[in-house]
Structure 1
């Protein structure tokens, strides 16, 4: 089949999605010189139509076409909503073994969404007439045979480091103007979140970038315009003709603004033009903390605890025990659903189904009640990855339940599941921003809308205080939690007096006498 043949046929076709999808895909295979699913994999084990259609509810598959290690592919009828098709693929990406490409098609246009975890996401768009173009046909060919060729070049780490560097310069300029460091940190965090919010569509029509562009022509007007925006984000409202949702969460609890000079506005605008939707929360808190805190400015290029190292703790401490619990419970649910299928009357079937649903509901509630503590949380890297892992467990539980014949439920595990203690006010506030952004990114990446009213839930569970001693010299209490993860501070016993002061060290050793040897490293007090 030639490109002209394919284009002519599918321009004229007015078939419904269900009757057209497989024929369209088979024609595409012929056009590209690729083997069809049945030719390549007669068993359907790694390449097939209707992946997931064997699930016990008997419903439609999780993807119209699936090829392991390459793509999940969803069709819609002509002129239908491809965004909805993409959302469906996102929600089932875990069940599809997280393919690197999520492809949607309405018979006349293709959208190839990249889905690698640690790269900036990219969308390749191909209209039907574009198939005359050999380069664009090559994109589709690569989706079948060499998906890595479509992998975006920029990593999320590189994007995050660039953003951190931009804001470090802005923070430094504001401090040189005489503003208090904590005031600068709070203001910068607001700017960061505005840039993130507009890039994911929570602030409409690039509102914040447009604000900065106008302020660059009239710098004296920036403060007034930013106050209007923060006032709207405090409780919901309007900025000009644009409707702004309720954000608050404590980050936008007032309208305080720092004026920006022309050079500061130029730095802010350069930062705003980055793609903030793909910022990596697992490192950005640390990087921004170094940019915001004068005492840590020299550490901007220093090593941070990366995602993989953190997951070496999160996986065995939190994820594996919860998955083991679910695996055992899943067997009981499967037994109940077998009773549904073999029941001799509707009453018995209903009772067995309700029993299975109760087991599922109780485990989801168990996940909602999980509490994870990092008692030296810094800028929130461990908390973000622990929350993400817990949400992944919940998502997998819902997909497993659907496979067994139960209804998949909306994810409800949220930031209230993580608790932190951090003595540095810069880091404590950044931890909240890190968790907020991580929660929103997870919801969007998995095809779910974010919570509203407000968008940012208060994170009072991340406390700014000493984790070992209270102000009155008594032992500090930690909040109750089921799991504890983190990287508490190491400081040799011989250095405590010099670094922490004589009074603090004497009190610390007295309070923990009999439990921690006097010359022990500071980290021993945390354990």
Structure 2
């Protein structure tokens, strides 16, 4: 783009600058500001401004301050070496290492990672700059770009081969102009802007020629195929697949003798198809093949028509933009679409905004891991192992398959291809560096190629164009990287990767739908337009009709297997589907997807459902789609919710933009869309929202500023707290358990049966006949039963000491156990199937404990006396204090448990999962006064309920709390509910709960939230369709609790554990409520038995991933990281940390390591 530009600086000035700096030494702090200031002077650029106390005013300064947020909520202060708002973040080093050596490359990579971290720490209202610059002072400048400015990955600019500018390169005028533009007008360096202008010009020429050929009577499809061959031939000469300018010269000659044109070009294309000598170009040609030059049917042209081809051929086809070329070519070659040629197209920046998070960022995370693995091997002198890890990643990259199931003319597939080729270039560069010379990996299967990019497209013309777009993009990129195209023949391969078929249904046959008179039903073709005789505006051409069909035995279409799915399925609303697609097709689709996609959903949601299903079932890793922004509305949300809320195979939205400007590729209309990316499992997501956009409609891509929030992304595309990502806390460990699981109803006895066994007269039997409670006993009417518990006794001991009890169990339990498939249950028939040895240890010595029903409509807690044995369906917590009971019974903990737990059954009842609901919950640190107040209120609640139930035998907790919910909602009570209210004194109980909630909010220091939540419905049970204000406040509460969990986890990593029962959990520690360990890095070892820890993985890549994930959650010392694994693998942890640090992916500050994001 800068080939013909003049120099900015004189040769003498450049020589003097190079001479002054080429031998510079010292530290970057001493030299970098002087170096950059003198570079600005050389290129006639303004020097940086003095820094201001108001950081927001520091738009072009050295040492610009940024605050870097840590996962635990703390912040680190950083300083950008040189910052220019809207242009770049620059990080300076003075390495003193040899250029292109391993040590130098690692230092530059570490500097890039530091700069990338600074970019992400910039205030949202300043936006992301399009460039990162890394300089080795006095030696090189490396440029990285991200023109979409949406928080994506910065990639080498202009490509992995040419992104480093050496000091001597400043002699080249194009380099001077590139750097000057970087400072003054960075967006002009965006290659897609220049390419778009070239592409528009080419498309206009082809459209004009197509129009004249159609006027001559040639069929539209024949013209389209002819022109596609012409344009690929033009491209081939510019990238030197054909001799330079040979086709343009041929056209110029043919203009003088146009009568020979058809025969001559036919001969040329036959030579290109088969390879060999071409008499037309008088040169030996490579073999192209691939189907493009098969069955050629050249069209005779006159001199004027040949001139249009010459005009198109003179364009620089190296810079045609494949991301938009397909759309414009489709419009140029289709007379029904030609009126749209001047309309807007879908901008590349918008396409990248979805492609990057869907597949490129996951691949780059894997690449970062591969680099660390290679570095770890390198540090041990195992270069062969390092190369093996890199080649393994490259091989995997060359096997990745990307599917666009509504690919149109392949704009999404091309952008994916280009970014994967960029990544491949980086991989091959590192392989070449380590191997001393680039391996020959361009053989089929060892390079990223069009074969990996799969498409489905129902429009045959668009499908054919999609193949050409991918090949042009692939060859263009290869030429850009290598400067030549030394590819194996045939150049084009017919991979059949773009399929011309329907993406939703297959069928045995179809036949025209007939009306009452037996005539085929037709509808407007949805494309053809004509000028209105009244207004001159384009209106639908009602004479352009297409037949409506009836489909026989339709079934769901099978999609090609792919690792990633991405695209922009058609925008058709549910109400307009029949008009746009015909009754027969819509009926067939709705029949096939009945029960999974509601008829009220938009057309695009069928694609969304299929892709989500594929990802959840492991057939693809991730998918990303453009949909209309009505995705958040109820009729479309019904498609998302079953996938997101599935208990066994949930889907998570890892990226979403709810409302974004877009350009419809079909007609160029400006629309509003949503972007969503989904992956299997529970995972946090990134929600971006447009906070500012320009109103310049002449721009293809509106400039937008996006905010960023991380957390759980819900079906309505709002963010929530990342409750799924919280960590279990040591403070809450080893005190919660399920109750016993009998595996034999014969263990249960009524009081009368117990007395028959001698319970009433033999006090010794109290040891083996115990009170027993299950879930219904707590929430409904207690049964009053007891259970025989022979745990700790052998069969002989039970028989000797308790003969009547032994015989009872022998007669009523053993026959059932004898048929059990599990040997342990059969052999130990006198003992409960799951006797809960751990729980007995937890509760030993306590006079009472806290229990909650695992699955229940209302999340309630109750005190049970120590002599009561809990059932398997109770979750039991070995705590006895009133304040502990009060904290668990508070609205805060119940909201946490509803968010962290799951749902079950027709009633969608909440499930209290102890590992997620209790062991992760961050308890507040109470003052004595707060503990007394909360304890008193909690004891009142427990005593109130038990007293009222004792007075009224039919009164249940479920009934009482159902009434409480109605009172909170202000609903009128039925006569039965009024009775419950009076018997249970529920209004009084409600007041006690509200007072408890206020006291607990105060204990956390969150009185601001108490005023917005206390007294509202949904305090003990999920509340559907809650008011927006309540939902927003609850999300704020959850986010504070998540942040507190992270803070507690970070404290524990440092050795500060706030034990709930220190006398039991950590008896060797002295402090009553929290412990400061003498060795702060040994915290993780104290409560966790080695057998419960994970083994240190043997696979190095898994080791890297694990440690990086742990550092992403909170800073750690080497000791605390190693302590999370069996046998404390300090050596292995140190090796991984050393590799992470060498590449700038982690930093050590004192004894603490933190991740560089």
TM-score, normalised with respect to structure 1 = 0.75
Supply the distance in 1 between the matched residues of 2:307 and 2:396 (Cα, whole angstroms).
49
Supply the distance in 1 between the matched residues of 2:354 and 2:562 (Cα, whole angstroms).
16
Specify the alignment match of 2:424 in structure 1: 394
Q: Which deviations, in whole Å up to 9, do the C-alpha atoms of 1:47-101 show, x marking residues without a partner?
A: 899873332599xx9x99523559xxxxxxxxxxxxxxxxxx975335x3xx5x9
Q: Which deviations, in whole Å up to 9, do the C-alpha atoms of 1:158-217 show, x marking residues without a partner?
A: 111111111111112222222222221111111111111111211114221122112211
Could you say if the C-alpha distance between residues 31 and 103 of structure 1 is closer, same or farther in structure 2, counting changes exceeding 3 Å? closer
Specify the alignment match of 1:237 in structure 2: 276
Specify the alignment match of 2:100 in structure 1: 53
| Partner residue of 1:469 out of 480, 483, 505 | 505
Specify the alignment match of 1:221 in structure 2: 260
Specify the alignment match of 2:235 in structure 1: 196
Which has the higher Rg, Structure 1 or Structure 2? 2
Could you say if the C-alpha distance between residues 519 and 67 of structure 1 is closer, same or farther in structure 2, counting changes exceeding 3 Å? closer
| Partner residue of 1:520 out of 593, 601, 616 | 601
Aligned residues between the structures: 439
SS state of the match for residue 403, structure 2?
Answer: strand
Specify the alignment match of 1:93 in structure 2: 162
Supply the distance in 1 between the matched residues of 2:594 and 2:406 (Cα, whole angstroms).
22
| Partner residue of 1:168 out of 204, 207, 219 | 207
Specify the alignment match of 1:425 in structure 2: 460
Could you say if the C-alpha distance between residues 274 and 42 of structure 1 is closer, same or farther in structure 2, counting changes exceeding 3 Å? same
Specify the alignment match of 1:15 in structure 2: none
Instruction: Report the structure, 1 or 2, having the larger helix content.
Output: 1
Q: Greater relative contact order (Cα 8 A, min sep 6): structure 1 or 2? A: 1
Specify the alignment match of 2:587 in structure 1: 506
SS state of the match for residue 243, structure 1?
Answer: strand
Note if contact 1:368-1:413 (Cα within 8 Å) is conserved in structure 2. Answer: yes
Tell me which moved more, 177-186 or 220-229.
Answer: 177-186
1:447 correspondence with 2:432: no
1:294 correspondence with 2:324: no
Specify the alignment match of 2:365 in structure 1: 324
Supply the distance in 2 between the matched residues of 1:93 and 1:244 (Cα, whole angstroms).
29
Could you say if the C-alpha distance between residues 258 and 102 of structure 1 is closer, same or farther in structure 2, counting changes exceeding 3 Å? farther
TM-score, normalised with respect to structure 2 = 0.35
Supply the distance in 2 between the matched residues of 1:57 and 1:37 (Cα, whole angstroms).
16
Specify the alignment match of 1:118 in structure 2: none
Specify the alignment match of 1:383 in structure 2: 413
Supply the distance in 2 between the matched residues of 1:457 and 1:103 (Cα, whole angstroms).
42
Supply the distance in 1 between the matched residues of 2:571 and 2:364 (Cα, whole angstroms).
32
Specify the alignment match of 2:753 in structure 1: none
1:276 correspondence with 2:311: no
Note if contact 1:227-1:256 (Cα within 8 Å) is conserved in structure 2. Answer: yes
Could you say if the C-alpha distance between residues 243 and 103 of structure 1 is closer, same or farther in structure 2, counting changes exceeding 3 Å? farther
In the TM superposition, what is the alpha-carbon distance from 1:471 to its structure 2 partner? 4.7
Supply the distance in 1 between the matched residues of 2:600 and 2:482 (Cα, whole angstroms).
52
In the TM superposition, what is the alpha-carbon distance from 1:476 to its structure 2 partner? 1.5
| Partner residue of 1:304 out of 336, 342, 345 | 345
In the TM superposition, what is the alpha-carbon distance from 1:357 to its structure 2 partner? 2.4
Specify the alignment match of 2:496 in structure 1: 460
Q: Which deviations, in whole Å up to 9, do the C-alpha atoms of 1:420-445 show, x marking residues without a partner?
A: 01111221111111111111111121
Q: Which deviations, in whole Å up to 9, do the C-alpha atoms of 1:475-512 show, x marking residues without a partner?
A: 22110001011100011112111111121111111111
SS state of the match for residue 506, structure 2?
Answer: coil
In the TM superposition, what is the alpha-carbon distance from 1:307 to its structure 2 partner? 1.2
Q: Which runs of 5+ in 1 are unaligned?
A: 1-24, 71-88, 115-139, 341-351
Note if contact 1:420-1:461 (Cα within 8 Å) is conserved in structure 2. Answer: yes
Matches within 5 A, 1:181-192: 181-192=220-231
Note if contact 1:182-1:425 (Cα within 8 Å) is conserved in structure 2. Answer: no
Could you say if the C-alpha distance between residues 34 and 385 of structure 1 is closer, same or farther in structure 2, counting changes exceeding 3 Å? same
Supply the distance in 2 between the matched residues of 1:27 and 1:405 (Cα, whole angstroms).
39
Supply the distance in 1 between the matched residues of 2:571 and 2:294 (Cα, whole angstroms).
35
Tell me which moved more, 45-54 or 432-441.
Answer: 45-54
Supply the distance in 2 between the matched residues of 1:456 and 1:394 (Cα, whole angstroms).
20
Instruction: Report the structure, 1 or 2, having the larger strand content.
Output: 2
Note if contact 1:219-1:260 (Cα within 8 Å) is conserved in structure 2. Answer: yes
Supply the distance in 1 between the matched residues of 2:481 and 2:489 (Cα, whole angstroms).
21
Specify the alignment match of 1:210 in structure 2: 249
Note if contact 1:57-1:403 (Cα within 8 Å) is conserved in structure 2. Answer: no
Supply the distance in 2 between the matched residues of 1:229 and 1:400 (Cα, whole angstroms).
41
Matches within 5 A, 1:314-353: 314-340=355-381, 352-353=382-383
Supply the distance in 1 between the matched residues of 2:243 and 2:24 (Cα, whole angstroms).
47
Q: Which deviations, in whole Å up to 9, do the C-alpha atoms of 1:379-400 show, x marking residues without a partner?
A: 1111111011112222222334
SS state of the match for residue 337, structure 2?
Answer: helix
Specify the alignment match of 2:1047 in structure 1: none
| Partner residue of 2:470 out of 435, 440, 445 | 435
Could you say if the C-alpha distance between residues 190 and 65 of structure 1 is closer, same or farther in structure 2, counting changes exceeding 3 Å? farther
Supply the distance in 1 between the matched residues of 2:410 and 2:168 (Cα, whole angstroms).
34
Specify the alignment match of 1:121 in structure 2: none
| Partner residue of 2:396 out of 349, 363, 366 | 366
Note if contact 2:97-2:103 (Cα within 8 Å) is conserved in structure 1. Answer: no
Could you say if the C-alpha distance between residues 259 and 145 of structure 1 is closer, same or farther in structure 2, counting changes exceeding 3 Å? closer
| Partner residue of 1:484 out of 543, 562, 565 | 565
Specify the alignment match of 1:18 in structure 2: none
Could you say if the C-alpha distance between residues 148 and 208 of structure 1 is closer, same or farther in structure 2, counting changes exceeding 3 Å? farther
Note if contact 1:57-1:404 (Cα within 8 Å) is conserved in structure 2. Answer: no
Specify the alignment match of 2:577 in structure 1: 496
Supply the distance in 1 between the matched residues of 2:468 and 2:94 (Cα, whole angstroms).
41
Note if contact 1:235-1:247 (Cα within 8 Å) is conserved in structure 2. Answer: yes
1:255 correspondence with 2:255: no
Supply the distance in 1 between the matched residues of 2:167 and 2:342 (Cα, whole angstroms).
35
Supply the distance in 1 between the matched residues of 2:387 and 2:342 (Cα, whole angstroms).
51
Tell me which moved more, 402-411 or 458-467.
Answer: 402-411
In the TM superposition, what is the alpha-carbon distance from 1:144 to its structure 2 partner? 7.2
1:356 correspondence with 2:379: no
Note if contact 2:387-2:435 (Cα within 8 Å) is conserved in structure 1. Answer: no
In the TM superposition, what is the alpha-carbon distance from 1:281 to its structure 2 partner? 0.7
